[in-house]
Chain A
Amino acid sequence: MVFSIAYHFLRDRALAEEIAQDVFLQLFRNLNSMESGAHITFWLRRVTSNRCVDYVRKRQRRPEVALEETAELRHSDAPSDPLLSRKLQALVQSLPEKPRLVMIMRYQEDLMPEEIATVLDMPVRTVKSHLHRSLAMLREKMERSVGGTR
Chain B
Amino acid sequence: MKKLIIAGAFFALMPLRAQEIKLPPNLEKLADRAHEVVDVTMDGPLLQLAARFLSNRDPDEARVKRLVAGLKGIYVKSYEFENSGEYDERDLEPLRAQLKAPGWTRIVGVKSKRSGDNADVFIKSDNGGITGLAVISAEPRELTIVQIIGAIQPEDLRDLGGNFGIPRLEFKNKQGKED
Number of B residues near A (Cβ < 8 Å) is 6
Question: Besides the contacts A34-B12, A109-B2, what 12 more A-B pairs have beta carbons closer than 8 Å?
Answer: A1-B4, A31-B11, A32-B11, A32-B12, A35-B12, A35-B13, A36-B13, A38-B4, A40-B4, A40-B6, A41-B4, A110-B2
Q: A41 touching B12 by the CB < 8 A rule?
A: no
Complexed CA–CA distance, A38 and B2 (Å) = 10
List CB contacts (< 8 Å) of A27-45 with chain B.
31-32, 34-38, 40-41
Chain A residues near B (Cβ < 8 Å): 1, 31-32, 34-38, 40-41, 109-110
Q: Which 9 A-B pairs have the closest CB atoms?
A: A37-B6, A41-B4, A37-B4, A32-B11, A40-B4, A31-B11, A110-B2, A35-B12, A109-B2
Q: Which residues of A contact B4 (CB under 8 A)?
A: 1, 37-38, 40-41
A to B contact number (C-beta, < 8 Å):
19
Q: Using Cβ atoms and an 8 Å threshold, which residues of chain B touch A41? A: 2, 4
- Can you list 9 A-B contacts (CB < 8 A)? A1-B2, A32-B11, A34-B12, A35-B12, A37-B4, A37-B6, A40-B4, A40-B6, A110-B2
| B 1-33 binary contact with A (CB < 8 Å = 1; else 0) | 010101000011100000000000000000000
Chain B residues at the A interface, C-beta cutoff of 8 Å:
2, 4, 6, 11-13
| In the complex, residue of chain B having the shortest beta-carbon distance to the beta carbon of A44 | B4
Could you tell me the distance in whole angstroms from the C-beta of B156 to the nearest C-beta in chain A?
33
Cα distance, A37 to B3, chains bound together (Å): 9
In the bound complex, residues from chain B placing their C-beta under 8 Å from that of A38 are 4
Bound form: Cα–Cα A40–B8 in Å:
12
CA of A40 to CA of B12, assembled, Å: 13
CA distance A36 to B11 in the complex (A): 10
The residue in chain A whose Cβ has the minimal distance to the Cβ of B10 is A31
Contacts of B13 in A (CB 8 A): 35-36
